[in-house]
């Protein structure tokens, strides 16, 4: 086992001289006001540990030090100025780059040989991993490079040009038809997996499969040796650098399931059948979900050079699985190689007492392993490979840092792990055992694991999905185990999980370093310990919990109180308790006006409030502190911290609407202002100091009195703020001012205005004109731009083109988007409309008359899992039109293949080649489905644009929603994208959770711009006529 770091099991430590964090977290928070202080950035990362401590204390949260980074490790400065949290994760959290920077781990394989070395490189691995491009036969299949060392792994057959898809590289027909070679970086991105996939019985009869021999070479200084049933590359000190666990071979099921499914449904405690619960939130995965046919293929390492740098590694596939009676195909043979990691984990089974196939749960592709009795006779017998067996899991942590501590330094420790499945809905105990410093390796098996004599904890939990009271993440107190590591100077701590092994009902599954690719499910060990404290530092001056810092005389702090709190981090080099000696001096008289001692404590923040009657408005003071231990020894005095007392508040601020250069003006209704603007129309307001020359900050809020926004300004300056309403109605803007001492104005200025109704929750004008993203005007569910999708070349993506306003000469520069009817579409990142409730969608559309006019052509939709919940567009044959084409709005009753549909059809014949405005609506109060179609016509033959409504003959009996993206230009049906739009689309709107009056539909049909299509009328008149945010005169 090497001393390097690892995959997704994480080790976390906290080092400190303090036994507790601040007694008042507010005292550690950096003020939102920032009055009298230069604005300083707060971040979660700093370049050095010193900088991280400064930022952590100032900002009130932990900060990572970049100079502590490794792919797996991070050290964090804590906001108390003393603690360090060291974190080591088994799954690498970052990958080093050639320029010294760090990037997220990315296992994607570059699709071509970009640097001309004949290799296909993994994008951002922990250790450099590359695969043969198939061009040069001399290139080995795979190469892994780590810290100056490398290992090359080749195959006994020629490699064709591969197919690269994401992180998977496939070399087809490497040993004849039906035998493919598949490679990819391993889950930790420290090596690679190699899968030889035998498709059928004919391919399995290939005599080359009787034995497979691979040529392996390593860099100078390394030697290839046997390691259990696999092999390793070790350095001169005997430390493993690269590792290959025992290769596995299995029959791959046609439709694997991640969740064990019982042979007969049983009812659990939550009331749901186990079969129903099994279809919970645990995803399926390809490959080895059920290991009924699993064989281990021990390797034979035959050195080919005296130095041991080259060897032939041979395996003998299980012929029964290939040509035996009842062989199941496809069959997969899986040798792999990885760089050695820090932490290890393994699953063991009593029925296979010498098997090491559970190393790093490699026999479970989702990254989990069973714990308990796997009873072959139970309804979960498929999980047991036909044999009753006891199962346990072990987690080994490289704990060198803990081993360097004294036992008394350790103040707490926790082991946490994710339970991803349980056999029943009944709570059952999971026990945690300490297995000492025994190491987990590629040879770990039921027979070789250490003694389970020391139980350190137990949790009664439910892990089954769909059950009431289900827990996924559980934690165990392992403080005594961590103390044992410290007192024994161990380098490792190994823990194990087991349950009652007398019945299948207690059986559970636990994650190792990840589960289904999610490293958040990895097991974690955290250890908290205290370091000897240091000298006083991080001096602070607080007013009502607001940190004013320690400022020099030239930039002194201004305080709005005569009783500030002063404090500092007081430490003692001997680790004993200390107290702080504080004193305040008047700078004018040079007299000490106050002094006091804080209470004894072992490190951390010491603070005191200055006594009343000692400080006065308008005076300048300075304070300092030093540490005093119980023996009376003192440290050096700190630097002086200067402040001035200012208790006079500023004037109440003024508010005026900005009338120039804005989308909308929102006048004060208390001064005669009328409703105006609308949702999505930005307005601005000018905040004024009203003569207070020391006003340095404004705080405000819209519609609440939380004052959730604020901005610092130059003394006495005005400030302009912006506001974009999301809904119509009366809104109150509340504003208050602050001076440099943080005094708030005596009263709050309230400015009331009325936003005209604006129903749209998402608007894409499609007027960007350039790029491959169409911006959204109103963010009803957060920013949701439409992204252009098509083939991978820009020339076949949707294209910007002339919009209807430009075409009808009503607004120059209007744009639209053109679609090719093949695969062009626009999509958001996430859902836009909740289709289980009332909603409206609309757009101007133009269908190309040259397209095939059969079937449907969909302009707007939103994805489901299998089926779009709605479509808006063209339908070739409509019942309302005696089988002639029409414009239609369709709602589907479920997210399944062949779902029932309710169709609203406009009662006139659809004519491609003309602009039309379509509006689809669903009303959850009446369950009615409607469509409005407005014929706009062409520039040569304009039409009035009056809305004509079509109502579905039947009502929607079941509405449902989806978390999938909104789409322009196609639908999803039975899991397939189809009915692509050929033509143009413009002015896409979504009205989520509401229905729209027909008078508003008329305005949408005619366009919501300030100008009409004909370009007549002034802006005010056009706005009154066409703006859909204007109220009706009713």
Say how many CA atoms lie within 13 Å of 375 toward its Cβ.
Answer: 14
Task: Determine the Cα–Cα distance for residues 596 and 583; give it in Å rounded to an integer.
Answer: 7
Q: Using CB atoms within 10 Å of the CB of residue 207, give its burial: 0 to 12 exposed, 13 to 18 middle, 19+ buried.
A: exposed
Closest CA to 425 of 461, 460, 462: 462
Is the peptide bond prior to 330 cis by the omega test (within 30 degrees of 0)?
Answer: yes
Looking at residues 600-607, what average pLDDT do you find? 79
Q: Would you say residue 102 has pLDDT above 70? A: yes
Task: Give CA separation, 920 vs 273, 879, 914, in Å.
Answer: 40, 18, 19
Q: Would you say residue 520 has pLDDT above 70? A: yes
Task: Determine the Cα–Cα distance for residues 303 and 1005; give it in Å rounded to an integer.
Answer: 80
Q: Buried b vs exposed e over 998-1022: b needs ≥16 C-beta within 10 Å?
A: eebbbbbbbbbbbbbbeeeeeeeeb
Cut 0.85: pTM above it: no
Task: Give CA separation, 533 vs 53, 488, 567, in Å.
Answer: 15, 24, 16
Residue 534: the pLDDT is: 54
Task: Determine the Cα–Cα distance for residues 626 and 536; give it in Å rounded to an integer.
Answer: 7
DSSP 728-750: -EEEEEEEEEEETT-PBPSS-EE
- Where does the pLDDT of residue 797 fall: very low under 50, low under 70, confident under 90, or very high at 90 and above? very high
Task: Determine the Cα–Cα distance for residues 36 and 695; give it in Å rounded to an integer.
Answer: 10
Average pLDDT across the chain, whole number: 83
Residue 286: the pLDDT is: 33
Cβ 859 vs Cβ 875: under 8 Å: no
Task: Determine the Cα–Cα distance for residues 641 and 273; give it in Å rounded to an integer.
Answer: 68
Q: What is the dihedral of CA 787, 789, 794, 797, to 10 degrees?
A: -110
Q: Which is higher by pLDDT, 31 or 478?
A: 478
CB atoms near residue 639 (< 10 Å): 12
Task: Determine the Cα–Cα distance for residues 530 and 207; give it in Å rounded to an integer.
Answer: 64
Looking at residues 89-106, what average pLDDT do you find? 86
Looking at residues 650-674, what average pLDDT do you find? 92
> Quick check: helix, strand or coil at residue 554?
helix
Residue 726: the pLDDT is: 74
The residues of the chain that CATH labels 2.60.40.2550 are 537-645
Query: pLDDT tens digits for 919-950?
Result: 999 988 789 999 999 999 998 999 888 899 99
Q: Would you say residue 759 has pLDDT above 60? A: no
CB atoms near residue 371 (< 10 Å): 26
CB atoms near residue 912 (< 10 Å): 18
Q: What is the DSSP letter of 189?
A: S
CB atoms near residue 928 (< 10 Å): 17
- Element housing 306 (H / E): none
- Where does the pLDDT of residue 258 fall: very low under 50, low under 70, confident under 90, or very high at 90 and above? very low
Looking at residues 612-618, what average pLDDT do you find? 95
- Element housing 321 (H / E): helix 319-323
Task: Determine the Cα–Cα distance for residues 59 and 79; give it in Å rounded to an integer.
Answer: 7
Q: Would you say residue 157 has pLDDT above 70? A: yes
Task: Determine the Cα–Cα distance for residues 56 and 34; give it in Å rounded to an integer.
Answer: 16
Query: pLDDT tens digits for 956-976?
Result: 999 999 999 999 999 999 999
Residue 603: the pLDDT is: 67
Task: Determine the Cα–Cα distance for residues 615 and 645; give it in Å rounded to an integer.
Answer: 8
Say how many CA atoms lie within 13 Å of 549 toward its Cβ.
Answer: 21
Lowest-confidence pick of 638-652, 716-730, 859-873: 716-730
Task: Determine the Cα–Cα distance for residues 125 and 104; give it in Å rounded to an integer.
Answer: 9
Q: Would you say residue 1007 has pLDDT above 70? A: no
Residue 259: the pLDDT is: 41
Which tokens sit at 864? 């489901």
Which tokens sit at 13? 């430590």
Q: Using CB atoms within 10 Å of the CB of residue 18, give its burial: 0 to 12 exposed, 13 to 18 middle, 19+ buried.
A: buried
Query: pLDDT tens digits for 801-834?
Result: 999 988 888 888 899 999 999 999 999 999 999 9
Residue 792: the pLDDT is: 57
The residues of the chain that CATH labels 2.70.98 are 103-252+287-339
Report, in angstroms and rounded to the nearest whole number, the Rg of the chain calculated over CA atoms.
35
- Of the ranges 69-83, 912-926, 993-1007, which is most confident? 912-926
Task: Determine the Cα–Cα distance for residues 509 and 371; give it in Å rounded to an integer.
Answer: 6
Looking at residues 312-332, what average pLDDT do you find? 90
**CATH 2.60.40.2550 holds for 537-645:** yes
Task: Give CA separation, 1002 vs 130, 463, 936, in Å.
Answer: 61, 55, 12
Cβ 626 vs Cβ 637: under 8 Å: yes
Residue 849: the pLDDT is: 94
β-bridge pairing 825-827 and 786-789:
antiparallel
Q: Would you say residue 708 has pLDDT above 50? A: yes
Phi and psi at residue 393, to the nearest 5°: -130, 150
Task: Determine the Cα–Cα distance for residues 490 and 410; give it in Å rounded to an integer.
Answer: 14
Residue 82: the pLDDT is: 59
Task: Determine the Cα–Cα distance for residues 348 and 199; give it in Å rounded to an integer.
Answer: 30
Cβ 803 vs Cβ 766: under 8 Å: yes
Strand order in the sheet with 537-543: 546-547, 537-543, 565-569, 605-609
Whose tokens are 């009676």? That residue is: 325
CB atoms near residue 644 (< 10 Å): 18
Q: Would you say residue 3 has pLDDT above 50? A: no
Residue 678: the pLDDT is: 66
As a CATH number, domain 103-252+287-339 is 2.70.98
Lowest-confidence pick of 40-44, 761-765, 918-922, 1012-1016: 1012-1016
Whose tokens are 């070395």? That residue is: 117
Q: What is the dihedral of CA 278, 282, 287, 291, to 10 degrees?
A: -50
The residues of the chain that CATH labels 2.60.120.200 are 762-1026
- Cα 132 to chain centroid, rounded: 33
Lowest-confidence pick of 572-586, 635-649, 969-983: 572-586
Task: Determine the Cα–Cα distance for residues 222 and 220; give it in Å rounded to an integer.
Answer: 6
Q: Using CB atoms within 10 Å of the CB of residue 758, give its burial: 0 to 12 exposed, 13 to 18 middle, 19+ buried.
A: buried
The CATH T-level fold of domain 762-1026 is Jelly Rolls (2.60.120)
Q: Would you say residue 992 has pLDDT above 70? A: yes
Instruction: Give percent above pLDDT 70 in the chain.
Output: 85
Task: Determine the Cα–Cα distance for residues 869 and 890; give it in Å rounded to an integer.
Answer: 8
- Of the ranges 519-533, 722-736, 746-760, 898-912, which is most confident? 898-912
Task: Determine the Cα–Cα distance for residues 825 and 873; give it in Å rounded to an integer.
Answer: 14
The CATH T-level fold of domain 344-530 is Jelly Rolls (2.60.120)
Within 285-409, strands assigned E span 294-296, 300-303, 310-315, 331-334, 336-339, 344-349, 368-374, 389-398
Residue 325: the pLDDT is: 83
Say how many CA atoms lie within 13 Å of 42 toward its Cβ.
Answer: 13
Residue 137: the pLDDT is: 79
Lowest-confidence pick of 287-291, 427-431, 952-956: 287-291
Class of domain 654-736+748-755: mainly beta
Q: Would you say residue 10 has pLDDT above 70? A: no
């Amino acid at each position: 086992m090497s001393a390097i770091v690892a995959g997704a099991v994480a080790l976390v430590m906290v080092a400190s001289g303090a036994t507790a964090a601040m007694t008042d977290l507010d005292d550690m928070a950096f003020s939102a006001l920032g009055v009298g202080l230069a604005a300083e950035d707060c971040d979660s990362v700093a370049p050095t540990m010193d900088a991280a401590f400064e930022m952590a204390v100032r900002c009130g949260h932990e900060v990572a030090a970049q100079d502590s980074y490794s792919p797996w490790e991070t050290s964090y400065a804590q906001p108390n100025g003393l603690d360090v949290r060291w974190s080591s994760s088994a799954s690498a959290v970052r990958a080093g780059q050639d320029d010294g920077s760090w990037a997220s781990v990315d296992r994607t394989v570059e699709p071509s040989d970009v640097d001309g070395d004949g290799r296909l490189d993994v994008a951002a691995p922990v250790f450099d991993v590359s695969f043969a491009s198939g061009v040069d036969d001399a290139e080995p299949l795979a190469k892994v490079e780590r810290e100056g060392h490398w290992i090359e792994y080749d195959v006994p057959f020629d490699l064709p040009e591969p197919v690269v898809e994401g992180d998977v590289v496939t070399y087809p027909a490497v040993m004849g038809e039906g035998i493919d070679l598949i490679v990819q970086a391993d889950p930790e991105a420290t090596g690679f997996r190699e899968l030889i996939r035998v498709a059928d019985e004919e391919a399995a009869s290939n005599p080359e499969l009787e034995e497979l021999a691979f040529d392996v070479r390593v860099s100078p200084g390394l030697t290839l040796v046997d390691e259990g049933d696999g092999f390793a590359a070790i350095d001169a000190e005997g430390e493993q650098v690269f590792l290959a666990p025992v290769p596995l071979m299995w029959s791959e099921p046609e439709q694997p399931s991640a969740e064990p499914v019982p042979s007969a449904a049983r009812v659990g405690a939550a009331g749901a059948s186990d079969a129903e619960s099994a279809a919970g939130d645990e995803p399926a995965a390809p490959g080895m979900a059920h290991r009924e046919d699993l064989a281990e293929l021990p390797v034979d390492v035959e050195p080919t050079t005296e130095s041991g740098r080259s060897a032939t590694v041979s395996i003998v596939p299980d012929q029964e699985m290939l040509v035996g009676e009842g062989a199941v195909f496809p069959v997969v043979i899986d040798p792999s190689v990885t760089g050695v990691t820090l932490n290890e984990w393994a699953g063991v089974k009593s029925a296979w007492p010498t098997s090491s196939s559970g190393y790093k749960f490699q026999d479970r592709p989702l990254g989990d392993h069973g714990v308990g009795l796997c009873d072959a006779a139970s309804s979960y017998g498929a999980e047991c490979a036909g044999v009753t067996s006891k199962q346990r899991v072990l987690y080994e942590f490289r704990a060198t840092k803990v081993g360097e501590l004294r036992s008394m330094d350790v103040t707490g420790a926790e082991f946490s792990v994710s339970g991803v499945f349980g056999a029943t809905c009944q709570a059952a105990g999971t026990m945690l055992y300490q297995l000492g410093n025994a190491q987990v390796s590629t040879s770990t098996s039921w027979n070789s694991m250490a003694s389970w004599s020391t139980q350190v904890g137990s949790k009664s939990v439910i892990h089954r999905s769909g059950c009431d009271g289900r827990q996924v993440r559980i934690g165990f107190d392992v403080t005594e185990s961590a103390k044992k590591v410290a007192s024994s100077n161990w380098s490792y701590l190994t823990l194990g999980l087991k349950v009652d092994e007398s019945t299948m009902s207690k059986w559970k599954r636990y994650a190792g370093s990840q589960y289904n690719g999610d490293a958040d499910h990895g097991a974690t060990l955290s250890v908290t310990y205290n370091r000897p404290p240091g000298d006083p530092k991080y001096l602070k001056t607080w007013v009502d919990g607001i940190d004013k810092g320690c400022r020099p005389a030239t930039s002194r702090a201004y305080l709005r109180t005569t009783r500030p709190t002063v404090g500092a981090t007081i430490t003692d080099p001997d680790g004993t308790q200390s107290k702080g000696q504080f004193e305040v001096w008047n700078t004018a008289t040079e007299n000490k006006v106050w002094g006091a001692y804080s209470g004894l404590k072992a490190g951390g923040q010491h603070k005191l409030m200055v006594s009343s009657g000692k400080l006065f408005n308008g005076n300048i003071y300075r304070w300092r502190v030093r540490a005093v231990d119980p023996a009376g020894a003192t440290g050096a005095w700190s630097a002086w911290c200067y402040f001035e007392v200012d208790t006079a508040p500023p004037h109440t601020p003024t508010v005026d609407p900005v009338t120039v250069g804005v989308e909308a003006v929102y006048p004060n209704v208390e001064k005669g202002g009328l409703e105006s603007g609308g949702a999505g129309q930005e307005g601005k307001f000018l905040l004024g100091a009203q003569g207070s020359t020391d006003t340095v900050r404004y705080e405000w809020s819209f519609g609440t009195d939380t004052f959730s926004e604020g901005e610092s300004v130059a003394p006495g300056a005005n400030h302009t703020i912006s506001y974009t309403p999301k809904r119509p109605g009366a809104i109150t803007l509340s504003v208050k001012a602050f001076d440099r001492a943080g005094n708030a104005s005596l009263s709050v200025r309230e400015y009331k205005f009325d936003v005209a109704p604006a129903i749209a929750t998402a608007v894409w004008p499609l007027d960007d004109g350039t790029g491959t993203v169409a911006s959204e005007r109103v963010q009803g569910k957060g920013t949701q731009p439409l992204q252009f999708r098509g083939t991978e070349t820009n020339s076949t993506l949707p294209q910007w083109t002339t919009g209807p306003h430009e075409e009808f000469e009503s607004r120059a520069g209007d744009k639209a988007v053109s679609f090719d009817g093949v695969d062009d579409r626009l999509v958001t990142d996430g859902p836009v409309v909740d289709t289980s409730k009332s909603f409206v969608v609309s757009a101007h559309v133009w269908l190309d008359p040259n397209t095939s006019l059969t079937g449907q052509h969909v302009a707007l939709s939103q994805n489901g899992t299998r089926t779009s919940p709605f479509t808006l567009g063209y339908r070739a044959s409509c019942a309302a039109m005696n089988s002639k084409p029409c414009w239609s709005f369709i709602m589907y009753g479920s997210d399944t293949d062949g779902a029932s549909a309710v169709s609203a059809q406009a009662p006139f014949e659809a004519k491609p080649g003309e602009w039309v405005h379509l509006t689809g609506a669903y009303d959850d109060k009446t369950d009615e489905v409607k469509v409005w179609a407005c014929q706009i016509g062409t520039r040569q033959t304009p039409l009035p644009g009056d809305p004509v409504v079509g109502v579905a003959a039947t009502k929607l009996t079941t509405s449902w929603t989806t978390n999938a993206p909104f789409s322009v230009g196609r639908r999803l049906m039975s899991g397939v994208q189809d009915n692509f739009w050929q033509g143009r689309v413009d002015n896409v709107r979504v009205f989520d959770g509401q229905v729209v009056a027909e008078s508003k539909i008329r305005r949408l049909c005619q366009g919501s711009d300030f100008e009409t299509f004909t370009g007549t009328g002034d802006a005010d008149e056009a706005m009154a006529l066409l703006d859909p945010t204007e109220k009706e005169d009713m």
